[in-house]
Structure 1
Amino acid sequence: MDTQRNEILAALLTSHGYTHRQLAQAVNAISGRIFGRPGAATDRDVRRWISGAVRWPTSRYLLPLVEIFDRQPEAMGFVPRGRSSRLPVPPPRTPTAGEEEPVKRRAFLTASTAATVALALGLDETPVQGRLTLTDIDRATGKIGRLAAHFNSVGGGALLEVATVYLDRLRTAADGCTYGPRVEQALNAAISDLCSSAGWAAHDAGQSGQARLLYADALQSAILAEDKRGQARAWSNLALQARLDGRHREALRVNRAALDSRQARQDPRIAALLHSRLAIGHARAGDPPAAARSLLAAEAAHDKFDTAAPPPPWLRFLDAAEIAGLSAIAHQAMGHLPDAELATAQALQMLAPNMHRNRAYYGVQLAELQVAQGDTDRAALTVARLNTSALSSRRIADRLATVHRALAA
């Protein structure tokens, strides 16, 4: 039989960081949630999908693949064969007595998402005793990067426990394993990276105290690792936390210190993020001219992005859409509501399809701005278009509830 290799699916595995075995595990876990019993996919099945030997998987595997990669089958390189190759509809779940309360449903989604991610990433494979090598650290770094990608998709609330459990495992490895100086440095850098991601998850889950501690731990580990990029990231997060705590001048001082670092001067992506957040800080501190200068600096840094070189996983969210969204927050803080609404709408138009969390965040922000300008009809329409059913973010949920109360009033 004439077969053609599925290069699209092979590229998706690479971009998402899955091995054949890890993808099979993720498919089986999601299949269990959809169909009520775990799937039986193996790495051999994945190889057959990629080789083209299987051009259209069974529904038991196809539906999980659609969920994992957020693409229709044809966009994953699969080839339909007539009417029998239509995308199947997931079987209905057996209802319990009475309707599920929204909180219970969100708790189920959170638990299933976290379990699926933990299983797919193989977080229990990192050794906690014996000899630790650079290969082990490279694997851990890859897992942390894929965890950051899941944050952008489903929000931090669903994955906070996953991140903190894996952080405990890395710290156990640091205490229980033997390794040389290079491995120690790389391990500290990985712990810093994970602390920052876990801090973001805590922040998104509304756990500001835990987020603050994790950001401080991230800075300490980055210093031990002599990781300048990790230090700049930690300083940026600490500045954000200070601003959220209402300490605007402290946030400005921390943000300026981060911008003065060599890494910020050499990396346009870090500079763009810091300038965008500095603009918000100036706006909240009542200095519109300084905020405007920082917004221009962020746009100038964005123009210098090296699109040929992939950014680190934690910075993949930072694109033109995110910079527009951050500028909207600065305009809102300055009282420029029409400009803020326009920038938020631009962010929503430019967001990548898989950025579900950010799409919900800026969707709520757009509704807030419309309510603030008295345009309740458009705000109601904006809210009606939001889809937060598979999202776990207390921050977004609380803000959306406030919008609903304003519309009801």
Structure 2
Amino acid sequence: MNATRNTALEAWMREHGYSSNSLADAVNKALEQLTGRTGGLDGSSVRDWKAGRVRWPKAATRRALEAVTGMPPTVLGFVPRGRAPSTPAAPQEDLDMKRRNLIGGFAVAATAAAAPGTTGPRRIGMSDVGRLQQRFAEVIASDHRYGGQLGIEQRAAALADEALNLQNAGSATQRVRSSLYGCAASFRSSAMWAAIDGRRYGDAKAHMREAQALAEMSGDQAIKFRIWSHAGAMYRHVGRPGEAFAANDVARNLHITRRDPTFASLGLARQAAIHGAAQDRMGTHRALDQAQDALQRVDPHGFRPVWLLAFYDQAELDSLALSAFLTLGDYPTAEFHAHRCLAALRPHMRRSHAITTTRLAHAQLAQGDFEAAADTAMKVPTDAATQHPRVSRMLQEFGAALRARAPRSSAAQSWTEHTRHVWKATT
């Protein structure tokens, strides 16, 4: 039987300016984000899709395609196994197909008009969005390595402006414009988090207001969740649990938390940390139990945004539990979660490793285990101890508490000598 060409995919590629090679590259990157392994697609793979020789790609490839295009595989013209390709489409589906083909024809004309040597406007497409999303992934990676740095905040804010400038750089579909607003909101939310992590709370609030407006224009539920969840964390850090609860509730009440238990689990875990800050022991335990239940329901193969994939897992849940029990004064339970977090943290989570190690030292110190606490605190890498504002502040508090509780102990002497060498090495 002769293969039937996938005209829907071809139309989508024309509309968004993708060649076979560039679409293969984009899907490979999405596969790497989803699975941790680089995809092996090339231009011939995409040409097989267009020619209809491959009617239903593998499951991971389908998820990556949906991540790139924002459309389910069936809308892109792929046919599940066992379904006859000649099945007559419903009238509305016929109209939709004609509309996509017509749009594709307009896109070709627009691309030709924008070619070098002509005066037509540039066509902005999903390939431009894809490039911005790749840079967003780089910002996320920098945050997990260094965290809280002014340079990360400034870079993210500049990229948000770059995404907005593309809105005026040429013509685009509504979907592309919404995606650009989503990119801008994502970058602003990263600038917001870098400012929170760096204890620059005034700047964080300014980024938050702009991020919230951009997220509304994008209609992206995932980025709305991120912004409001960050707002809850910010208010928790400044000691305003009432506002922290209110902001986190906005995130938790979004529809995405009912569709995806990963979002539900993160919202509940952060709720537990706020309960801890509010000295609500029962609320802390209840929220953590619910967060754990939700995490166990997560589909490991489901699609999630890169920022969520990069950090939320069992280790992060334990990190938030550690924060909650530390503020509650339940130091043995805090230490338990600290050890479990450190055992499960992924290698790229250097910032989280430093924060968790510092909190573990505080939990050990509070239990009177001075030698172990000092030994733990001295394991915090020098760059984090001196350059990450939150870590530096927590280590200063650790040293003051150690000297207050055991001023003549060998642990206090070791810590004083260690800090002298650390600061000397950085000056």
Counterpart position of 2:134? 142
2-structure distance, mates of 1:320, 1:348:
11
Counterpart position of 1:299? 292
Counterpart position of 1:394? 389
For 1:49-128, what aligned pairs fall within 5 Å after superposition?
none
Question: What letter corresponds to residue 143 of structure 2 in structure 1?
Answer: F
Structure 2 gap ranges (5+): 1-27, 35-120, 408-427
Q: CA deviation at 1:217?
A: 1.9
Mapped contact 2:181–2:217 kept (Cα < 8 A): yes
Within the candidate set 367, 371, 384, 2:365 is matched to 371
For 1:260-279, what aligned pairs fall within 5 Å after superposition?
260-279=253-272
Within the candidate set 124, 127, 133, 1:132 is matched to 124
2-structure distance, mates of 1:281, 1:13:
34
Mapped contact 2:196–2:204 kept (Cα < 8 A): yes
1-structure distance, mates of 2:154, 2:198:
11
For 1:231-242, what aligned pairs fall within 5 Å after superposition?
231-242=224-235
Q: CA deviation at 1:16?
A: 7.1
Mapped contact 2:33–2:306 kept (Cα < 8 A): no
Counterpart position of 1:280? 273
Q: CA deviation at 1:327?
A: 0.8
Question: What letter corresponds to residue 139 of structure 2 in structure 1?
Answer: L
Mapped contact 1:137–1:187 kept (Cα < 8 A): yes
2:312 partner SS: coil
Within the candidate set 397, 404, 407, 2:402 is matched to 407
The more displaced of 134-143 and 162-171 is 162-171
Q: CA deviation at 1:241?
A: 1.5
Mapped contact 1:146–1:313 kept (Cα < 8 A): no
Count of residues in Structure 1 that have an aligned counterpart in Structure 2: 288
Counterpart position of 1:357? 351
* Residue 12 to residue 398, structure 1, CA distance change in 2 (3 Å): farther
Structure 1 gap ranges (5+): 1-10, 18-128
2-structure distance, mates of 1:303, 1:216:
34
2-structure distance, mates of 1:14, 1:227:
21
Counterpart position of 2:283? 290
Report runs of 4+ in structure 1 exceeding 6 Å deviation. Answer: 11-14
1:237 partner SS: helix
For 1:330-341, what aligned pairs fall within 5 Å after superposition?
330-341=324-335
Within the candidate set 180, 188, 196, 1:187 is matched to 180
2-structure distance, mates of 1:268, 1:150:
27
Question: What letter corresponds to residue 353 of structure 2 in structure 1?
Answer: R
Q: Deviations over 1:367-401 (max 9, x none)?
A: 11122222221111102222132684211122122
Mapped contact 2:159–2:184 kept (Cα < 8 A): no
Q: CA deviation at 1:287?
A: 2.3
% of aligned pairs identical? Answer: 29
Counterpart position of 2:191? 198
Q: CA deviation at 1:310?
A: 5.2
Counterpart position of 2:320? 326
Mapped contact 2:384–2:392 kept (Cα < 8 A): no
Mapped contact 1:148–1:197 kept (Cα < 8 A): yes
Structure 1 vs Structure 2 CA RMSD: 2.3
Question: What letter corresponds to residue 360 of structure 1 in structure 2?
Answer: A
1-structure distance, mates of 2:141, 2:285:
31
Q: CA deviation at 1:130?
A: 4.0
Q: TM-score, normalised by structure 2?
A: 0.63
1-structure distance, mates of 2:325, 2:384:
30
1-structure distance, mates of 2:303, 2:264:
16
2-structure distance, mates of 1:387, 1:322:
20
Counterpart position of 2:116? none
2:274 partner SS: helix
2-structure distance, mates of 1:235, 1:12:
28
Q: TM-score, normalised by structure 1?
A: 0.66
* Residue 356 to residue 223, structure 1, CA distance change in 2 (3 Å): same
Report whether the alignment pairs 1:156 with 2:156: no
Question: What letter corresponds to residue 374 of structure 1 in structure 2?
Answer: G
